[in-house]
Amino acid sequence: MPPEVRAAYADALAVVGNPSSIHSAGQAARAVLDDARGRIASTLGVDAVELTLTGGGTEAVNTGVKGLYWRRQRDVARPVILLTAAEHHATLDAVDWLVANAGARAVIVPVDPAGRMRVDALEDALATHGDAVALVTMLAANNEVGTLQPVTEAAALASAHGVPLHVDAIAAYGQLPLAPLPAGVSAVSISAHKIGGPVGVGAIVIRRGVDVEPLLHGGGQQRGRAGTMDAAGAVAFAVAAEHAHADLESRAAHKRALRDRLAAGIRESVPQAVLSGALAEGATGDALPGTVHLRVPGAEGDSLLFLLDQAGFAVSTGSACQAGVPEPSHVLLAMGVSESDARGALRITLGPETTAADIDGLLAALPSAVERALAAGLAARTPRLGR
């Protein structure tokens, strides 16, 4: 969290009053919150009224998926949700819940070997299921392998079929320019903590003319959400958003240069490693500027993680939300990687303060970690019931 975000957050915490109250303290808090909402919205090129603040990215995603699904059932049954198997678990688990409890039917759109949604398959799915489609939901960029997704093309297809499109842009927000949002995008989820804001603060863009059923019912303080609004969190989110977007191009270029330096170093010093996603050998397209994903066949990703952690480098075996679960990456499995190879996955993410020395230090530590992880081999697995 940058110093200016911390300072703004602390100052805003001193503002007393419920933003929905009509007394002067409440109206002062409301003015602070409305200003923050407008500043966040401007980074996406949307109006403030289109931005609903949430208690984090997961709530935003659930509002986009469940809220759009429930609203689409009002006049006629539309059970089909189109998505890839490489989505974030906030989406996958929300869809699974709708399948188990609300009559939904998930139709999986395949991804290519880089983890990119196949537009031709989406077009076929929309044509096949027609009026039965409730919504399409997709990532702006894959949160594990970093591959950028064809949002503009998907939005055009969804719009042509009269189907709303929800985009989980949490991994991409503040990393790449998202404004203006493509025509046909109905909702976009973002989160503050990915850009140096506080944890537990997020937002969803609900475009004009789009309605969602709320997850929370109560005072109806916002479009699609009830509950007292977090003015201080909104202020910190706004400052973090402006900070990230003010230098977005230079920050992205800095991380992209270090990303490419790291990828080249991995190819040279760790020939056993296989880069994933858009950075893989022969792949096309691009990835997030600060993400490098690799796998080491024959090694456990957890072994690599612990060995690098001992060397002073914090890396991940997948998305942080699932990093404590010792299972192969569902993203890699969706990309056609074997289960054994997927177990050797490692995700490395770079920040705006990452230096070339950091990259060189990691490259110096990586060969030894790979050698030791390969010597340890793959751990025995206990079959999970129902799988």
What letter represents residue 194's amino acid?
K
Please, what is the Cα angle at 72 between 66 and 74, to 5 degrees? 115
Which of 314, 320, 387, 353 has the alpha carbon at shortest distance from 58? 320
Which of 174, 169, 149, 180 has the alpha carbon at shortest distance from 44? 180
- Told to judge if 321 belongs to the known catalytic residues of this protein, a careful annotator would answer yes
* Marked catalytic residue, from 270, 311, 321, 378: 321
Dist CA 373 CA 266 (whole Å): 16
- Note the helical H segments in 109-247: 119-129, 151-160, 231-246
Distances (CA, A) of 360 to 108, 327, 346, 365: 40, 30, 17, 9
Q: Provide the angle, in degrees to the nearest 10, between the axes of the packed helices 119-129 and 151-160.
A: 20
Dist CA 4 CA 16 (whole Å): 21
Identify whether the C-beta of residue 78 lies closer than 8 Å to the C-beta of residue 68.
no
Dist CA 88 CA 384 (whole Å): 21
Dist CA 233 CA 9 (whole Å): 7
- Note the helical H segments in 192-285: 231-246, 248-269
Active-site residues, by number, are 321
